[in-house]
Each structure stands twice: as structure tokens, then as C-alpha cells.
Amino acid sequence: MTRALLLVDLQNDFMPGGALAVREGDLVVPTANLLEPRFDLVIATQDWHPPNHGSFASNHPGAKPGDLGELGGLPQVYWPDHCVQGTHGSWFHRDVELNGVTIFRKGTDPGIDSYSAIFDNGHRKATGLGDFLLARGVRETVILGLATDYCVKFTVLDARGLGLDVIVVEDGCRGVELIPGDSDRAFEAMRATGARIVRSSEL
């Protein structure tokens, strides 16, 4: 049985000091590096927005980061500009081991956001990651990264939707926590779909 390790959005903009900083985001990098050698297949996802991306508050006159608006007919949190294609903020944290790692990019369509690394937020288009995993015979994915309450959560939900077994590494995740408790609620939502939430020491 093939198991894949999925590292979600370990990018500078989600690290302390970044444009959409996640508290302690950098602390998950050593966990990712520790687990990598145990997997034949390691995938890193990259939030990869064009400058005119509709999730940016800056592209909506009068809006500010954290506001709730609309994009592509869906409710949308407006974010600070982040992970703009090719910028320092879009690149992976310098300590992430990328040797032999396959990279999947998402969020490239300015008209819709894509928290999940598998489908956009409207489930309109696939990124290719789902087919990639299924074509390689992957049955189980171990997932960690940033942010627990957005991209990790929706990637886990979509992976479960494809019928994959999912193990989420709790200490390998940190959340945005726009509302305190969002990460706990996200873990609960993941668990409710059948994902197992474990500590890296249990793996």
C-alpha cells in the first residue's frame, strides 16, 4: 500500500513575519522534515496567487483583511495579499527539505479561492493532485501544515471525499484562528469525516 506525506503550504507568508502569519507556523517545519524520509511519496502544496487574486482585500475597493465578502458566488474571507506567484512570500520556508518532493500549486484562478489542494472552493476544478494520488495507488495520506483551519482542513475533507484514508499530524499543524477555537473546530470537522488525528510521536 502506498502512503503519501502531504505538506500543506509551508510558505514564508504563513510563517511568523509573513503577510498572513500563522502563530508558530515555523515550528511545524522540523516535524515535516523528520517525517519525510519515512515516505516514498512526498508532496508539498503551494498557495500560488496572481496579483489580481479575488481573495485579496486589496482587490476589493473599501475592503480590509478579515472582512467577509464574496468571490465566484461563494462567501469569501478577504485576506492580505499573500503567496503572490514568484515572490519571497510564496516560496517555501528555507528549512523545508524539498529534495525529491513533488509540488502542487493552487489558487491560480483569480476568480475563485482554493483552500484545498485537491479542488477549488466551489469544487469546480481539480488541481490534479487527486488524480496524481489515485494514479500512484495511494490509499493513505498523512497530512500536516498550514493553516489548520483553512488549507489543511479543506485538503483533508477533499481527500476523505476521494475515499483516501487520512491521518492528520496534530503537532504538525497550526491555525490562523481568526476566531479563537477555529483550529479545534477544524480538527473536529476533520475527525467527523473519518480522518484520524494523531501526534507525530505516534506515527
Q: Which residues bind ligand VGL (CB under 6 A)?
A: 9, 14, 20, 47, 79, 115, 146-147, 150-151
Any contact of residue 149 with Zn ion (CB under 5 A)? no
Query: Which listed range, 43-51, 69-77, 139-147, 179-187, lies at the site for Zn ion (CB under 5 A)?
Result: 43-51
Residue 83: active-site member: no
- Burial label for 149, CB within 10 Å (0-12, 13-18, 19+), is buried
Residue 106: active-site member: yes
The Cα–Cα gap between 184 and 52 comes to: 32
Residue 64: active-site member: no
Which is catalytic among the residues 9, 13, 26, 113?
A: 9
Q: Which is nearer to ligand VGL, 4 or 21 (CB)?
A: 21
The single residue among 47, 81, 120, 149 that binds Zn ion, judged by CB under 5 A, is 47
- 36 touches which of ligand VGL, Zn ion, none (CB within 5 to 8 A by kind)? none
Any contact of residue 13 with Zn ion (CB under 5 A)? no
Which is catalytic among the residues 26, 47, 81, 106?
A: 106
Contacts of 37 (CB under 8 A, 6+ apart): none
φ, ψ (nearest 5 deg) of residue 89: -65, -25
Helix and strand totals (H; E) in the chain: 4, 8
CB atoms within 10 A of CB 71: 21
Active site residues: 9, 106, 151
